[in-house]
Chain A
């Protein structure tokens, strides 16, 4: 079974530029998550989709971050314009079920973003 795929793996941009990350979850997984992991911290949820609907974006900086999940499968996360403090690893995860607290989340390898 193929895992969660993410691209690119690494990205370096200058502040005020825009950047986009792509995620392909495990086939059939209904729920998709984007986490931000700042160096030395645990991952923090940015946005959660169930199929193609947003169920939690309470910690997404909506003035600069946006995300969509096309047809309930792939997802893109965009930052425009980027700030220095956006330097982090962006992790995508997916889980099979809808609204099950014990469901396992499967993580992709992440995209390491450096903002100069």
Chain B
């Protein structure tokens, strides 16, 4: 069965600093991975997804993630944080056991300091 683990339930960065949100996966087969962002009182919005076409995936709002099989990781990064990036971020893996539902991590709340 597939699963994801997000290290750090809360991350704080200064405006303009590097954003690094960690996600490690567990899967016996090549996984399909997603990063979603959730702003307060809103639904989830897709930032990017890994579909095995390229290991470095670029998403919206300047975010990108790199799939590293050797480290079983899919960390989300952004070179320079903006105040508007403050939100909760979820990593998810597609369940390949049959129905392709998403299995989500517990989320990381990003705080951006002025």
Contacts and interface: CB of A to CB of B under 8 A. Distances in A.
Interface residues of A, number: 26
B44 A104 contact: no
Interface of B: 9, 32, 34, 36, 41-46, 49, 51, 90, 92, 94, 96, 98-102, 104-107
Given A91-B44, A110-B43, A104 B104 contact: no
Nearest to B91: A42
A33 B49 contact: no
Interface stretch (A14-22, A62-70, A78-86, A95-103): A95-103
Nearest to B36: A107
A61 interface: no
Given A40-B106, A42-B90, A42-B107, A101 B43 contact: no
B100 A103 contact: yes
A33 B44 contact: no
Contacts of A105: 46, 102
Nearest to B42: A109
Interface of A: 4, 33, 40-45, 48, 55-56, 91, 93, 99-110, 112
Which label, helix, strand, loop or mixed, suits the secondary structure of the B interface? loop
A39 to B, nearest CB: 11
A100 B106 contact: no
Given A42-B107, A101-B94, A102-B32, A48 B101 contact: yes
Contact of A99 (B42, B90, B100, B107): B100
Contact of B41 (A33, A43, A109): A109
B97 to A, nearest CB: 10
Contacts of B45: 107
Given A43-B44, A101-B32, A102-B49, A33 B101 contact: yes
